[in-house]
Amino acid sequence: MSSASYPVIRVNRDGSRVDSHELIGEEPLLIRIDGKPYTVVMRTPGEEIFHAAGLCLGEGIADAPDDFLTIGYCKDLDPNVIDIRLKPERREKIPDLLARRGFVSQTSCGICGKELVQDLYQMLAPAENGFQVHINRILDCVNQLSKNQKYYQKTRSSHAAMLFDHRLELVSFAEDVGRHNALDKAIGKMFMHRKLSEAALLVLSSRISYELVQKAARAHLPVMIGVSS
């Protein structure tokens, strides 16, 4: 369940009253790689395969969908467990990444639990230069953010990520209680559909923090916009 209504007590200067409030869901997602736990991510349920694929791209586990031998739910079809099998040739290229111990990533921070600063370093290639867009068209893209956030409208506690192509048409959207989860899901959809090269502009409902820049760079996105409070 991605959201549910709970009883709350609302308090103001005039007193208090019993009311209800919609809260966004948050559950742990275990991602296993080649039979071993890699990470546990606190996220809003839904789009788990895209989420895991986007995370693997951002972490350097995969460079292309072809690096996965298989990716899907565990044999018990538990929606909170994703099993990934890498192709042998890919596994041989990233032994250091696969050898590290698993970590727990909280929704508030995509780098919580990293053992070493070196874990953050990635082999990054510059995005292609030359993409230009008028500021008014960027504002039009930004205005689409809240319009597409169904959970934000009900809970006021979700983040979203939107990808636009070179014509500034929306090509991918995801919403989650965690900002980095939303980005992993949005990127993961394009990645698994082999259309990530079409994405040119990223709009986020959050501050632009280190791990979000890293994920955008790994996806070769030339422009990212953050809408922060």
CATH of 135-226, one of 3.90.105.20, 2.60.40.3080, 3.40.140.10, 3.40.50.720: 3.40.140.10
Nearest to 133 by CA among 221, 201, 206: 201
Residue 5, pLDDT score: 82
Q: What would the pLDDT profile of 85-97 be if each residue is shown by its tens digit?
A: 999 999 999 888 8
Residue 101 DSSP one-character state: P
CA 136 vs. chain centroid, Å, equals 27
Residue 118 DSSP one-character state: G
Which residues of the chain does CATH 3.40.140.10 include?
135-226
Q: What would the pLDDT profile of 105-131 be if each residue is shown by its tens digit?
A: 555 555 554 554 455 555 777 777 788
Q: What would the pLDDT profile of 32-44 be if each residue is shown by its tens digit?
A: 999 999 999 999 9
Among positive and negative, which fits the CA dihedral 21, 44, 222, 163? negative
Which residues of the chain does CATH 3.10.20.10 include?
27-120
Nearest to 128 by CA among 57, 72, 200: 200
Distance CA 125, CA 229 (A): 30
Classify domain 27-120 at the CATH class level.
alpha beta
Determine the average pLDDT of the residues in 67-94.
93
Residue 87, pLDDT score: 97
Quote the mean pLDDT of the chain. 86
Residue 102, pLDDT score: 56
Q: What would the pLDDT profile of 51-61 be if each residue is shown by its tens digit?
A: 999 999 998 99
Nearest to 22 by CA among 153, 146, 174, 206: 153
The pTM assigned to this predicted structure is: 0.84
Q: What would the pLDDT profile of 162-219 be if each residue is shown by its tens digit?
A: 999 999 999 999 999 889 999 999 999 999 999 999 999 999 988 898 889 999 999 9
Q: Which residues are catalytic?
A: 109
Residue 155, pLDDT score: 61
**Cβ–Cβ contacts within 10 Å for residue 45, how many?**
16
pLDDT of 153 strictly over 80? no
Better-scored residue on pLDDT, 203 or 22: 203
Q: Please measure the distance between the N-terminal and C-terminal CA atoms of the chain and give it in whole angstroms.
A: 27
CA 122 vs. chain centroid, Å, equals 17
Buried/exposed 128-156: b ≥16 CB within 10 Å, e otherwise? eeeeeeeeeebeebbebbeeebebbebbe
